Amino acid sequence: MNILDIIDKKVKKIELTQAEIEFLVNGYLDGSIPDYQMSSLLMAILLNGMTEKETVALTEVMLGSGDKISFDFNVVDKHSTGGVGDKTTLVLIPLVASLGTKVAKMSGRGLGHTGGTIDKLESIPGFKTEMTVDELKQEVLEIGAAIAGQTGNLCPADKKIYALRDVTGTVASIPLIASSIMSKKLASGANNIVIDLKVGEGALMTNIEDARALANLMIKIGKAFGKKVITVLTNMNEPLGYAVGNALEVEEAINTLNGQGPKDLEELVINLAALMISLDQNIPMEILIENVETALKNGNALEKFKEIVNYQGGNIDNIVTAQNIIPVKAPKSGYVKSISALKIGELARRLGAGRLAKGDEIDHTVGIVLTKKVGDEVTEGEVIAKIYSNKTLIPEKDVSECFEITDLKVNKSQLIYEIIK
């Protein structure tokens, strides 16, 4: 068995065996298969796909490549497939934990033009994202929640492949996304999982059909391993909230936990939180929604966030954002018809908020903050966004061109498309 034969099979759209998948994943993990050969295979998978059987096998092999966490109590987990301005985890995890449901959240770094939760958290001075399994379990036991990177030796094969996909143009593969997400979720010890599956030009899934396919594949993988999975298809044609960029998004998340966040982000976390808690507590959804809204308003969720940050060594009083702030003005009067999430994400990455190459250092302080959303009225010369920059500058025109302004009044965008169970 050799990697060239496996690549050739996938190029010819021939189903790989469990043994072949074990060979290639373990070979890449131990270094006997180099980056360039794994990149070739990943591209073949992107172009030709994988069967459901292959995807379950890949999930199983990546799950078995390292340790697995087990809890003595029920734990619910959440995952987002990645979007622009997606700081949902920062609000959702403390919100759910403040209402008595335990959450162990393993998160990743930025992938493509999308931001990563770990990158955001590392903009909080002192915040420790690398934890041992015992530390993670102890934190969940003591305060009900923890947010960490791929802890210890959990799914090391996925961690290595994930980083390679980010810089080889192989991000948007349904089986690779499904196996990556589910191997991490299964390894993290969650009994039940809610997945926020982004749909739109700023997401990995750009259309509803692919999103449904990914949703159903992850549900099937969950069933294969005895786990309950709920997927929520949500709009990513415009950035979520206003802030795009690591420290800027943390600040917006804190504002949301303080009851002063953007309406779209608030709507999303309230619905996701209710679904997560419903998997743990036998309470009607309408009551759960009410309880979640109360936790956001009364400060309980914010206090839980502070508790998590303090437990993991962070200090939210010392978050730094770039001091060079450039206003972007509307070129004409009218109504915002669309905001290109993809272009905003790419511009933020150019500023240094994301990675262009494997191993790139991120500037946590930079990004773009919108002041208008789809459906808002604007007047010519009004500030529609702000660029936060340091070393790298981008033209104001590049940002203003992300906004489509029309003379006709525009309705607000639908945020939640559907829920698949």
Residues catalogued as catalytic: 79, 158, 165, 180, 184
Q: Which residues contact 87 (CB under 8 A, 6 or more apart)?
A: 115, 117, 120, 240, 241, 243, 249, 250, 252, 253, 256, 265
| Sequence-distant (≥ 6) Cβ neighbours of residue 294 within 8 angstroms | none
User: Mind giving me the DSSP string for 192-258?
Assistant: EEEEEEEESTTSSB-SHHHHHHHHHHHHHHHHHTT-EEEEEEEE-SS-SSSEESHHHHHHHHHHHHT
Distance CA 419, CA 421 (A): 7
On whether the CB atoms of residues 229 and 218 are closer than 8 A, the answer is: yes
DSSP string, 49-97: ---HHHHHHHHHHHHTTSB----SS--EEEEE---TT--HHHHHHHHHH
- How far is it, in rounded angstroms, from Cα 118 to Cα 30? 25
Separation CA 268–CA 61 (nearest Å): 33
Q: What is the maximal distance between C-alpha atoms in the chain?
A: 65
Residue among 130, 150, 190, 192 nearest 62 (CA): 150
Name the 3-class secondary structure at 128.
coil
Q: What is the dihedral of CA 282, 288, 292, 294, to 10 degrees?
A: -120
Strands 228-235 and 192-199, how do they pair?
parallel
Which run of H or of E encompasses 368? Answer: strand 367-370
